[in-house]
């Protein structure tokens, strides 16, 4: 497995660094109610050919982060700071022409709900082929053949017939396959999948994730997989980024984060995940409370209103000072508890649940 460098130093020299590097990103929306700090000082890297899983409850800024990578926020209402490097190209503040050339071509995205995300007015074939024509300058015929080839690649039976069908004539799983075909038609280097299986039923979910894994193995695509399900991450990703209130709570390899989770929020996510070892009707323990409002996030650690351990930290650090992720590389988390404290809590926790 590729090791991940998590350097948080601003990208001064862009030598052979990570494939995608997000540095101190913040995304703020001005709304009628005030400024929404959807992403607030987020850094992470993705190495070429690996899969990064981004996990967090809904509203934690996962989609906003990735829409920022594609430059899809409405500039009239959005303020973006920080840096997003795709190899040696800075995407924050890039011209719309640059971004349009990138989108669907080098960086592609698939969305949660394939029914609403596909145009109801155009055939699947047309929606796939128009990307190919736009970026590769292919003829109508070439693009159509390519669309059929792509439908076949993502496992749609009778692709030559299906290519002329409309999205409403497809089942949910088939639609998401078509979405994937559309995203991959130009052989992108980076695929961002924003909760690609949330709208699908369980058996189809597994098929879609398998498909993504296969395609990655064959074509070496780098993938960012957004999900609120750690189970999905466990099966699919190499590295994990746990997001809370627009910031990184924890990051590391899947093995590290799942077997030795360090952040109390990650513990909460893990305990709300159905375990194979627990009895079937053991109730899930979700993280208590609700995510904070990003209009006026809590001072200090944004997680403190929901955290059971802030009194262990001593002083009032949790309530006054925002924790940064540490260490800078490898498995890190943004919490003031010492590693020893975390281990103690975890072993107690495990005993409780055993």
Q: Which of 23, 62, 133, 144 binds ligand ADP (CB under 6 A)?
A: 62
Nearer to ligand SF4, 154 or 337 (CB): 337
Tell whether residue 38 is a contact of ligand ADP (CB under 6 A): yes
Q: How far is 112 from 221, CA to CA, in rounded Å? A: 19
Tell whether residue 104 is a contact of ligand ADP (CB under 6 A): no
Nearer to ligand SF4, 19 or 267 (CB): 267
Q: Which of 2, 11, 17, 29 binds ligand ADP (CB under 6 A)?
A: 29
Q: How far is 8 from 17, CA to CA, in rounded Å? A: 12
The SS3 assignment for 252 reads strand
Return the number of other C-beta atoms located less than 10 Å from residue 212's C-beta.
23
* Least distance in angstroms from the C-beta of 240 to ligand SF4: 17
Spatial CA neighbour of 18 closest among 28, 29, 9, 30: 9
Nearer to Mg ion, 228 or 251 (CB): 228
Q: Are strands 107-110 and 89-90 parallel, antiparallel or unpaired?
A: unpaired
Partner from ligand ADP, ligand SF4, other proteins, none contacting 56, C-beta within 5 to 8 A by type: ligand ADP
Tell whether residue 309 is a contact of ligand SF4 (CB under 6 A): yes
Tell whether residue 176 is a contact of Mg ion (CB under 5 A): no
Count of residues interacting with ligand ADP (CB under 6 A): 13
**241: alpha, beta or left? (left if phi > 0; alpha if psi -120 to 50):** beta
Burial code (b: 16+ CB inside 10 Å, e: under 16) for 222-241 equals: bbbbbbbbbebbbebbbbbb
Tell whether residue 63 is a contact of Mg ion (CB under 5 A): yes
Return the number of other C-beta atoms located less than 10 Å from residue 353's C-beta.
12
Q: Which of 26, 50, 51, 105 binds other proteins (CB under 8 A)?
A: 105
Burial code (b: 16+ CB inside 10 Å, e: under 16) for 154-165 equals: bbbeebeebbeb
Count of residues interacting with ligand SF4 (CB under 6 A): 13
Tell whether residue 113 is a contact of other proteins (CB under 8 A): yes
Q: Where are the beta strands (DSSP E) in 98-256?
A: 107-110, 190-194, 222-227, 239-244, 247-253
φ and ψ at residue 44, rounded to 5 degrees: -165, 160
Residues between 122 and 181 with contacts to other proteins, criterion CB under 8 A: 130-131, 134-135, 166, 168, 179
Q: By the 8 A CB rule, do 329 and 45 touch?
A: no
Tell whether residue 301 is a contact of ligand SF4 (CB under 6 A): yes
Q: By the 8 A CB rule, do 229 and 208 touch?
A: no
Burial code (b: 16+ CB inside 10 Å, e: under 16) for 253-290 equals: bbebbbeebbbbbbbbbbbbbeeeeeeeeeeeeebeee
Nearer to ligand SF4, 136 or 322 (CB): 322
Tell whether residue 71 is a contact of ligand ADP (CB under 6 A): no
Binding mask 239-258 for ligand ADP (x = CB under 6 A): --------------------
* Least distance in angstroms from the C-beta of 4 to Mg ion: 23
Residues between 334 and 353 with contacts to ligand SF4, criterion CB under 6 A: 335-337
| Maximum alpha-carbon separation in the chain | 69
Partner from ligand ADP, other proteins, ligand SF4, none contacting 309, C-beta within 5 to 8 A by type: ligand SF4
| DSSP codes joined into one string, 297-314 | PPSSSTTGGG-S-GGGG-
Partner from ligand SF4, other proteins, ligand ADP, none contacting 102, C-beta within 5 to 8 A by type: other proteins
Q: Which of 103, 247, 304, 331 binds ligand SF4 (CB under 6 A)?
A: 304
Which residue ranges make up the site for ligand SF4 (CB under 6 A)?
Answer: 264, 301, 303-304, 307, 309-310, 313, 318, 323, 335-337
Which residue ranges make up the site for ligand ADP (CB under 6 A)?
Answer: 29, 31, 36, 38, 56, 58-64, 294
Which residue ranges make up the site for other proteins (CB under 8 A)?
Answer: 70, 72, 96, 100-105, 108-109, 111, 113, 116-121, 130-131, 134-135, 166, 168, 179, 182
């Amino acid at each position: 497995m590729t090791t991940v460098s998590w350097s948080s130093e601003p990208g001064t020299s862009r030598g052979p660094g990570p494939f995608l590097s997000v540095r101190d990103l913040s995304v703020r929306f001005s709304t009628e109610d005030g400024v929404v700090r959807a992403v607030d000082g987020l850094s992470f890297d993705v190495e070429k050919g690996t899969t990064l899983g981004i996990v967090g409850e809904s509203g934690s800024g996962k989609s906003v982060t990735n829409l920022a990578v594609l430059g899809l926020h409405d500039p009239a209402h959005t303020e973006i700071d920080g840096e997003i490097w795709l190899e040696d190209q800075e995407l924050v503040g890039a011209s719309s022409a640059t971004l349009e050339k990138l989108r669907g071509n080098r960086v592609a995205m698939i969305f949660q709900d394939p029914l609403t995300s596909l145009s109801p007015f155009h055939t699947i074939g047309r929606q796939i082929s128009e990307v190919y024509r736009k970026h590769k300058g292919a003829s109508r015929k070439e693009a159509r053949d390519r669309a059929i080839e792509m439908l076949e690649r993502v496992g749609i039976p009778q692709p030559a017939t299906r290519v002329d069908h409309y999205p409403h004539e497809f089942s949910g799983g088939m639609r998401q396959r078509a979405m994937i075909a559309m995203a991959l038609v130009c052989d992108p280097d980076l695929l961002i999948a924003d909760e690609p299986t949330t709208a699908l039923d369980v058996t189809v979910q597994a098929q879609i994730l398998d498909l993504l894994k296969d395609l990655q193995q064959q074509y070496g695509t780098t993938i960012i997989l957004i999900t609120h399900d750690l189970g999905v991450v466990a099966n699919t990703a190499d590295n994990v980024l746990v997001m809370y209130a627009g910031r990184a709570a924890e990051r590391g390899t899947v093995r590290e984060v799942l077997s030795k989770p360090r952040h109390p929020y990650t513990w909460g996510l893990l305990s709300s995940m159905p375990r194979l070892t627990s009895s079937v009707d053991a109730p899930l323990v979700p993280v208590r409370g609700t995510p904070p409002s990003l209009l006026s996030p809590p001072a200090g650690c944004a997680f403190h209103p929901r955290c059971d351990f802030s009194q262990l930290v001593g002083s009032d650090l949790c309530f006054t000072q925002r924790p940064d992720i540490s260490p800078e590389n490898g498995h890190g988390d943004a919490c003031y508890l010492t590693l020893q404290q975390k281990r103690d809590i975890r072993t107690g926790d495990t005993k409780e649940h055993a």
